[in-house]
Amino acid sequence: METDNSRSNLDNAADSAEAHGGLFSWLDRRTGLNSLLHIALDEPVPGGARLAYIFGSGLLFLFLSQVITGVFLLLYYVPAADHAHTTVAYITKAVTAGSFVRSIHAYGSSAVIIVLLLHMTQTFLYGSYKGRRDLLWVAGCVLFVLMLGMAFTGYLLPWDQKAYFATTVGTNILSEVPFVGGALKSLLRGGTEMGTLTVSRFFVLHVFAIPACIFAFVGIHVYLFRQAGAAGPIEPSKHPAELFYPRQVLLDVGFALAIMACLGLLAHYAPTELGPRANPADTQYIPRPEWYYIPIFQWLKYWHGALSVVGILVIPGIVALALLLLPFFDRRPERRPWKRPIAVTIYAAVFIALGILGGLSHRNDMRDPSTAAQIARQDKDEKVFMKEPFQPDLSGSSVAAVNTALTTDPLAAKGKTIFEAQSCNACHGDGGVGTAEAPKLVGVSAKFDIKKLEAILKQPSTAMVQGGMTPTDLKDEDLKALIAYVESLK
């Protein structure tokens, strides 16, 4: 009882002392902010601050940028096959700063890979994975794989042509896994084929599951780093140890600003594009993954038949495992790279091989005229789509309303029977919704007025004729009805 009283007296005294000490002092006593800052900022950096140490914090900064831009993209994105593309088009074409934020997010994913490779290379060259830093390296490797997973799952979400086909190929690779491959592929896709359930699964992985793991492993990685202490320079330095704050903090902040400036300039002057909506029936499309997956993509081309397991699983598996377990079989304390010629040569060889594979892939694409032409066509389609104004989706219930209304306009109703009698719907789809053979006619009235439509129907453009469109040979009144129907498709 008495001790309680005396304690509360003490508390009161402390409270009034805090009031005198100012806001910061009070906040510090309540939260321990100062000691937290002390722990964060006053970590000794052996041999002093260096540019070589900026990559880790640069990655942390990039990850936060991805989280923030990702959250803002979620304001408008809908993860379903029938809306994903429309909502990303809305973000890109309609929403203020939407294209900019999406571009920061898309370019940010590439930046993560680049800085990750720099971070890993620095750690490797400095031999900083050795000794008590072994588990720290392993946690870093896990983060690498998680980041590659983020890049892979995020790529599908816009549901445009390249997203759809690149992910179709990417998930097909899983079926090479012996025994359980097919099951794994179906599990990831949510069925045997790519569809709306695939979008849901990739969305959950990209937005919840993998980020949760990344947060956890970033925590583990930073904790293990502080537990082991900074590795410091390769050779004993003349410089004494220096605290993390201020010089290293300034270097890190400068790097973060440089990253942001690069991303901002890229996003402003070369915004990320969106291609036409995924068309699963398109048999012409040549999928190509993002640049950092191109070497693997090229590598897979060389493995066929029974050997493909070796190329697709065994060899990459061995490389990944070797990288993961590096600190456990490379136990010599030697850190100077010039005294570790074998390790450095292998590391360099792997990256040179990846670079060569990437170059070969590009050269193969450019040398084959039909491939080069198709890829050029795909690029052009993307440019054309980007120039088109945003087309809103017609909500489900509205389609019924429009169809009911159609019956009240006799001319359009007559046009509908002509549309079907002339087999226009065979290529343009029932109700003009479009198929793999021919574009949709819904909303065409926004592009062409009645006169233009009549001219095109009588004399299609060369591109249309190549696509299989035949000139319409109808009586004037039938043509009028057909046009009335096509114009009514909204």
Partner 1 sequence: MNAGQGRTVDNAAGSRPARRSFLAALLGLGAAVVGAVLSVPLIRMVLYPLLRTTTPESWSDVGSEAELGSASTPARKTILVEQRDGWRKVVSEKPVYVIKDPNGQLAVLSAVCPHLGCLVAWQADRDEFICPCHQGHFGADGKLLSGPPPRGMDRLDSKIQNGVLQVHYQYFRQLVPDKEVIG
DSSP 76: T
Rounded Cα distance, 267 and 290, in Å: 17
For the chain, give the longest Cα–Cα distance. Answer: 107
- Does 94 bind partner 1 (CB under 8 A)? Our answer is yes
- Does 490 bind partner 1 (CB under 8 A)? Our answer is yes
- Does 75 bind partner 1 (CB under 8 A)? Our answer is yes
Name the residue nearer to partner 1 (CB basis): 21 or 182: 21
The two tokens of residue 245 are: 């704050």
* Residue 302, φ and ψ in degrees, nearest 5: -85, -5
The CA–CA distances, whole Å, from 247 to 54, 244, 252 equal 11, 7, 9
Considering the complex, what minimum distance in angstroms separates the CB of residue 114 from partner 1? 20
- Does 433 bind partner 1 (CB under 8 A)? Our answer is no
Name the residue nearer to partner 1 (CB basis): 257 or 350: 257
- Candidates 147-155, 159-167, 238-246, 289-297; binding stretch for partner 1 (CB under 8 A): 238-246
Rounded Cα distance, 412 and 389, in Å: 26
Amino acid letter, residue 123: T
Rounded Cα distance, 205 and 153, in Å: 7
- Candidates 173-181, 186-194, 246-254, 366-374; binding stretch for partner 1 (CB under 8 A): 246-254
Name the residue nearer to partner 1 (CB basis): 26 or 303: 26
Name the residue nearer to partner 1 (CB basis): 9 or 403: 403
Residue for token pair 């880790």: 56
Name the residue nearer to partner 1 (CB basis): 29 or 362: 29
Of 57, 87, 167, 198, the residue at the interface with partner 1 (CB under 8 A) is 87
Considering the complex, what minimum distance in angstroms separates the CB of residue 256 from partner 1? 9
CB-count burial class (<10 Å; 0-12, 13-18, 19+) for 179:
exposed
Rounded Cα distance, 26 and 6, in Å: 21
Of 394, 413, 427, 456, the residue at the interface with partner 1 (CB under 8 A) is 394
Considering the complex, what minimum distance in angstroms separates the CB of residue 266 from partner 1? 14
**CB atoms < 10 A from the CB of 122, how many?**
17
By the 8 A CB rule, do 46 and 230 touch? yes
Name the residue nearer to partner 1 (CB basis): 57 or 123: 57
Q: Give the per-residue contact string, 179-198, with partner 1 (x = CB under 8 A; - = no).
A: --------------------
- Candidates 240-248, 358-366, 452-460, 467-475; binding stretch for partner 1 (CB under 8 A): 240-248
By the 8 A CB rule, do 261 and 80 touch? no
The two tokens of residue 136 are: 């720290």
Rounded Cα distance, 88 and 76, in Å: 8
Task: Give residues 33-52 in contact with partner 1 (rule: CB under 8 A).
Answer: 34, 38, 42
Can you give the binding site for partner 1, defined by CB under 8 A? 21-25, 28, 34, 38, 42, 68-69, 72, 75-76, 83, 86-87, 89-90, 94-98, 100-101, 243, 245-246, 249-250, 253, 257, 260, 390, 392-395, 397-398, 401-402, 405, 490
